[in-house]
Structure 1
């Protein structure tokens, strides 16, 4: 894994910043509290999400609603980008939002837990880390905060060994032993439970034999009951056959009675229909006589045919409407022409005034000269741009001076570094203050020079604005005259057109006056009289047509009535014949019913005998069911007893097997797991101890030596005497911590196939180092032989032997890359 970029939005002291990280040795440099360690906290959040010691509140910038971290890195020549987001809710709780992972440009939107699972797969970390709150392998191979490294050295032996077990993935042996103890307890409990369940096996076998004997007696009783039921059912079958032969006669009698009832009902209905049809025929004959009398009373008046009168009426009405239309149109057009002539007189007078005004304005335009305003505007724009640039320089100088003053105050008030917890020396404070004083003096010289230049340019701007204002006033006056002249340029042509239109309208008015003389009032009265006479003749013709239509309609009604009367007479004849036939059929049915005699009484007696036999059959069936029920219960009891005995025998075999398993787990498996764990821990201890000695001697050349005891605790020796880590000086403690850190990193990468083996980040690894120890850090970096090493430090000397330096500064509570 090689880290390539870290992009942060509203993360702690960063608002929006992206850091590009090259290969090789890289140093993140900056003052104490500048935000260097925040970069690696952001990387860890992007990879693994929230942790108990790294929640959203400690990551999201105060006052921000949302934030994000995007990390880019390479793994085995694949480009990977991971992004996680943060959002503050209304209850001020900070939660993770959705993010994504892009591998070689293929982007996948994922939930926080899905991102963690994919990251573990990419880094080659064990999958069981998905459910753990801390990624210890990452903490002790890639990036270890200084506090965590000191904690593993100063913790108790049990705590330290437990951490190392989890880091090296050998805590599984301890879990296996613990699970084996649980298994042994469970096996013992199960064996005791099984022994209790099989203790009554002999007693259950005796009960089974007793049930078998009782079942044989029930089977003999069941056989006798079945034979008696079969004999009784034969008698019932014979009686049922006799009853069915009588049922046919009873059914025939019922059919005859039903048909008799239906014929009686039909006969009554037909008699009622015959009576109603006779009444309808008498009524129809009376209506026919009334229609004949009405037909004789109709008189037809004498008049011309209506179609001839309607054609003449249409022609006469059209002539009258045409006369009225022509006269109205002529009067309307005459009024419009006279109104338009009045309007033209006013327009002609107005246009004559506009022509005179146009001549005056054209003379005024010729006398006005146009100033060069564009040149003044170009000069003004250039001066204003120069003044803005000077203002920006002045503001920046003020900001730099304020920042330098604030830096001096902060460094003078700082006694202890908030990150490494080391004291800040007076020489370091004086160096920082001198540097800031030089910056302040330089910026004040720049302020004086730029302020003088700005005042000169402002005077030039004021002069140009006055000249531009005067030029614009002159241009406005000329533009106004030009616009007014443009509006009036069509006035001469419009005046000529209006005069021609006035002459044309006068000619049209004379022609209309001649036409109106021909359309007189006498001609209109003559047309009205002819139209009224034609309307009266047409009304008489319509009355004649109505009388003729009524006579034809009555003739049709008389014909329909005659047909209806003939139909009713045929219906009466048919109903009389139907009544005679149905009366004869009814008499025949009564004779056939008398021939069947008392068949119903015989059927009732036979039915009672059969019901008594069926009742006896039901009693026999109930007895058979009772015996069968007892047989079924005994059979089930026998089956349950046999199953229980088989289950107890199976449990006896399983109990024997449980005893064998319990003996193997107690005597062999637990001891084997203990031996395997000791062997793995011994192998790791040998590697760890050898590497720790090597790194410690490289960092501290002298009388001090170091080794690891059985609990992986560093033990230092000087002149043959052992010294505790707490008794070492600050630089010696840091050397011991760094050697432990590097040795742990190498051992983990040698024993686990991780994709982070070519990358390490060291947080303040040289705190308290002397100049000689700082020089040895160059050899340490060369000895590491990794593709990418990132050092977080404020030691300026380290900058001389790393390949790249990234400087981070903090201004107004905002961290930026310089």
Structure 2
């Protein structure tokens, strides 16, 4: 991994600033308190987020600001990566918000924990460090200034290093093995208790198998009996079917007889009705013939109805004309009599000059009127005679129509008489045929009169056989249920026996395994732990002495790493306490320890992607001028692609490839450009 750029917004003394990291050695220079170490903390935060007791939000967010962010761009496995984390101030605390990781322009948004897990995966750090406080990064790449000497004096140093080097796994294996041995022994006791009655179970199973054989023989015999019963039942059922068929045939014939009796009764009834109809028909024909004789006595008129209608119409018209003339004549007589009586005309007022002549005229009119009355009377007598003739003609026509109808009735009655006579003859034949059929059926029914008794007897026999079969089936079902129960019990016991046998085998295996773990494996873990610890301690010591000799020119002062990874310092051949050293000597011991730890961890963790970078925070505290000169050799010996040093020592400017100067202006850190 190589760092490229860092963007800080409202982080401690920075408001909005960016830092570019070139390859090679880089010095972050500036006065004490100008904000150099803040850049390193920001890098730590960008990669792994906040960590309780190590790096909290109050350590980073600028006072008076409610929001802050860090964005770090870096190269990893040839891919350009960028990670951004944010801080926000709530009412009671400062928390980290969700962030974003971009790899080759592919963004991944996630929570702080999700991003930390992804970074551990990308950097090749073991995932068990997800919930731990970044020990790998803090001891391989970057250690804050105030923690540089902490591990040398920590009473938990050995445990810390055991965890870092993953040596504590052997202790965990031993603890787990002891728990496992205890569990094995408990399991052995349980298995011994479970398999204690194995021999008794074997004897019980032998008894059950003997009982099972007896039940199978009994079941076989019962099934033979059942087969014989089924054979007898089948034979009787076949006989019963024959009787049933005969009974069914007899019932059908009885139904046929009943139908024929109903049919013959209907035909006999019909014959009675036909005979009555024939008598009625003869009476009707005789009556109709008498009626024709009476009609024939009617006289035929001289004139037809049409002729009489014409004569009546002409006479009636003449009568009307005469009545009209008579009315006029009577009117004239009345008028003339009134004029004669008055002596003048009431219309024209002309006087009557010749009364005699007027009287003659009136007399003449009266004579005409009497003549018209005589003619009218004659015509009315004539009309009465004509109407009488017309009535007689009408009666004759009606008689002729009636005669025609009666003749048709006689013809119809004669036809019906012949039809009914034919039907009577056919019915008489049918009645005789049906009587013959009924007699035949009665003979058959008489012959089968004992079938019902035979059927009842057969039913009783079949019922008895069925009861016998039911008893046999119950006995078979009982024995089969007993067989099933015994077989299930045997299967259950066989399964239990198998488990008990396996338990006996497991007891042997468990005993061997527990003995092997207790006698050999635990001792082997102790040996492996000591060997691994010795190898790491030996390698650590070689690196430590190499770096220490490079930093110190005093041949009277030497240092080495002890069995518990403690530093042992000798001065003039005598061991001396670390606290008795000068400031520069303490720093040299701490830096050598730090560089040796970095090299050992890089060697042990093969897939770690941070082997090309190291960050040293104020590594020269208390160094003499000669020791500062030796830093040049340290940088050359590191042979890393990127080394970042934080120092306020001006002399280091001449040892590095690049320098970034940081200064403060009005409580705000800035990068000199």
Superposition pairs for residues 600-639 of structure 1, below 5 Å?
A: 610=462, 613-639=465-491
Identify the structure with the greater helix proportion: 1
Q: Distance in 2 between matches of 1:789 and 1:636?
A: 78
Q: Distance in 1 between matches of 2:16 and 2:525?
A: 53
- Listed one character per residue, the Cα deviations across residues 141-199 of structure 1 (whole Å, up to 9, x for unaligned) are 1001233333211112xx21222222223333333323332332222222232222222
2:547 is aligned with 1:726:
no
* Partner residue in 1 for 2:100: 99
**Counterpart in the other structure of 2:596:** 743
Give the distance between the partners of 1:87 and 1:600, measured in 2 at CA. 107
Tell me the equivalent position of 1:74.
75
Residue 563 of structure 2 aligns with which residue? Answer: 710
Q: Distance in 1 between matches of 2:16 and 2:243?
A: 109
Match of 2:37 in 1: 37
Please tell me whether the aligned partners of residues 96 and 112 of structure 2 are also in contact (alpha carbons under 8 angstroms): no
Q: Partners of 2:668 and 2:454 in 1: how far apart?
A: 118
d(CA) in 2 for partners of 1:731 and 1:218?
100
Partner of 1:162: 159
Given that 1:85 and 1:99 are in contact with CA atoms closer than 8 Å, whether structure 2 keeps it comes out as no
Shift, 1:91, TM fit: 8.2
CA contact (8 A) 1:101 1:115 kept: no
SS in 1 for 2:133: coil
Partner of 1:556: none
Bigger radius of gyration, 1 or 2? 2
Q: Does 1:803 align with 2:625?
A: no
Do structure 1's residue 120 and structure 2's residue 117 form an aligned pair?
A: no
Alignment TM-score, normalising by the size of structure 2: 0.63
Alignment partners' CA distance in 1, 2:574 and 2:200: 78
Q: Residues of 1 paired with 2:441 and 2:198: CA distance?
A: 81
CA contact (8 A) 2:85 2:96 kept: no
Do structure 1's residue 784 and structure 2's residue 643 form an aligned pair? no
1:773 positional shift:
3.4
Change (3 A) 1:788 1:607: same
Call closer, same or farther: CA 1:784–1:610 in 2, change over 3 Å: same
**Structure 1 pair 33/618, CA: closer, same or farther in 2 (3 Å)?**
farther
Instruction: Give the corresponding residue for 1:463.
Output: none
In the alignment, which of 636, 642, 645 is matched to residue 494 of structure 2?
642
The secondary structure found in structure 2 opposite 1:17 is: strand
Deviations 1:229-248 (A, max 9, x none): 33333344344445555666
Asked if residue 185 in structure 1 is aligned to residue 166 in structure 2, the reply is: no
Counterpart of 2:21 in structure 1 is 21
Give the CA deviation at 1:762: 0.9
**1:4-44 deviation digits (Å, cap 9, x = unpaired):** 11223444444443211111221223444443323223322
State how 1:32-431 maps to structure 2 within 5 Å.
32-52=32-52, 53-56=54-57, 58-60=59-61, 67-85=68-86, 94-103=95-104, 105-109=105-109, 112-113=112-113, 115-129=115-129, 131-156=130-155, 159-241=156-238, 244=241
Q: CA 1:784/1:211 → structure 2, altered by over 3 Å: closer, same or farther?
A: same
Report the Cα distance in structure 2 between the residues aligned to 1:610 and 1:245, rounded to whole angstroms: 14
- Decide whether aligned partners of structure 1 residues 236 and 42 sit closer, same or farther in structure 2, where only a CA change above 3 A counts: farther
1:248 to 1:767, Cα distance in 2 relative to 1, 3 A:
farther
Determine if contact 2:42/2:70 at 8 Å carries over to the other structure: yes
Q: Secondary structure of 1:802's match? A: coil
State the shift of 1:81 in Å: 2.7
The 8 Å contact of residues 81 and 101 in structure 2, kept in 1 or not, is answered as no
Equivalent runs, 1:446-465 vs 2, <5 Å:
none
Contact 1:99 1:112 in 2 (8 A): no
Contact 1:89 1:95 in 2 (8 A): no
2:503 corresponds in structure 1 to 651
Structure 2 CA distance for aligned equivalents of residues 148 and 172 of structure 1 = 26
3-state SS in 2 of match to 1:786: coil
- Could you list the runs of 5+ residues in structure 2 that have no partner in the other structure? 260-429
* CA distance in 2 between partners of 1:254 and 1:71 (Å): 109
For the residue of structure 2 that corresponds to 1:710, the secondary structure is coil
Q: Does the CA contact (< 8 Å) of 1:84 and 1:98 recur in 2?
A: yes
Cα deviation, 1:610-635, whole Å, max 9, x if unaligned, reads 55654553333222111111111112
Are the aligned partners of 2:50 and 2:96 in contact in 1 as well (CA < 8 Å)?
A: no
Distance 1:82-1:600 versus aligned 2 partners, 3 A rule: farther
Structure 1 position 208, deviation (Å): 1.6
- The equivalent residue for 2:367 is none
**1-10 or 200-209: bigger deviation:** 1-10
Q: Provide the rounded CA distance (Å) in 2 between the counterparts of 1:250 and 1:147.
A: 120
The secondary structure found in structure 2 opposite 1:72 is: strand
SS in 1 for 2:609: coil
Is the contact made by 2:557 and 2:570 (CA closer than 8 Å) also made in structure 1? Answer: yes
Q: CA deviation at 1:89?
A: 7.2
Taking the aligned partners of 1:93 and 1:616, their CA distance within structure 2 comes to 94
- Partners in 2 of 1:251 and 1:7 — Cα distance? 111
- Would you say 1:678 and 2:530 are equivalent positions? yes
Contact kept, 8 Å, 2:208 with 2:486, in 1: the verdict is yes
Equivalent pair of 1:74/1:80 in contact (CA under 8 Å): yes
Q: Check 1:102–1:632 CA distance in 2 against 1; reply closer, same or farther (3 A cut).
A: same
> Residues 29 and 805 of structure 1 are in contact (CA less than 8 Å); yes or no, is this contact kept in structure 2?
yes
Give per-residue Cα distances to partners, 1:316-366, cap 9 Å, x unaligned.
Answer: xxxxxxxxxxxxxxxxxxxxxxxxxxxxxxxxxxxxxxxxxxxxxxxxxxx
**What is the CA RMSD across the aligned residues, in angstroms?**
4.0
CA contact 1:12–1:38 (8 Å) conserved in 2: yes
* Preserved contact between residue 56 and residue 96 of structure 1 (Cα < 8 Å): no
Which residue matches 2:8?
A: 8
Contact 2:11 2:69 in 1 (8 A): yes
TM-score by length of 1: 0.53
* Conservation of the 8 A alpha-carbon contact between 2:253 and 2:441: no
Query: Bigger shift: 113-122 or 628-637?
Result: 113-122
Matching residue of 1:303: none
Distance in 1, matches of 2:610 and 2:116, equals 16
Q: Distance in 2 between matches of 1:60 and 1:621?
A: 92
Q: Distance in 2 between matches of 1:229 and 1:182?
A: 65
Distance (whole Å) between structure 1 residues aligned to residue 97 and residue 454 of structure 2:
96
Q: How far did 1:792 drift?
A: 1.9
Distance 1:602 1:76, change over 3 A: same
1-side partners of 2:179 and 2:97: how far apart? 38
1:626-677 per-residue CA deviation (whole Å, 9 max, x = no partner) reads 1111111112222333333333223222322222222322232222222222
The whole-number CA distance in structure 1 between the counterparts of 2:477 and 2:164 is 75
Residue by residue, what CA displacement relative to the aligned partner does 1:766-786 show, whole Å, maximum 9, x if unpaired?
Answer: 223344433433333233232
Asked whether 1:696 is paired with 2:545, we answer no
Q: In the alignment, is residue 762 of structure 1 matched against residue 627 of structure 2?
A: no
- Give the whole-Å Cα distance in 1 for the aligned partners of 2:61 and 2:461: 100
Deviation string 1:439-485 (CA, Å, 9 cap, x unpaired) is: xxxxxxxxxxxxxxxxxxxxxxxxxxxxxxxxxxxxxxxxxxxxxxx
- Mapped partners of 1:97, 1:207: distance in 2: 70
Distance 1:689 1:238, change over 3 A: same
Equivalent residue of 2:541, what SS? Answer: helix
Question: CA distance change for structure 1 residues 249 and 44 in 2, over 3 Å: closer, same or farther?
Answer: farther
- Corresponding residue SS for 1:125: coil
Shift of 1:761: 0.4
Contact 1:86–1:97, Cα closer than 8 Å, also in 2: no
CA distance in 1, matches of 2:43, 2:668: 19
How far, CA to CA, are the matches of 2:610 and 2:162 in structure 1? Answer: 20
Report the CA distance shift for 1:775/1:255 in structure 2 as closer, same or farther (over 3 A).
farther
Over residues 459-518 of structure 1, what are the superposed CA-to-partner deviations in whole Å (9 max), with x where a residue is unaligned?
A: xxxxxxxxxxxxxxxxxxxxxxxxxxxxxxxxxxxxxxxxxxxxxxxxxxxxxxxxxxxx
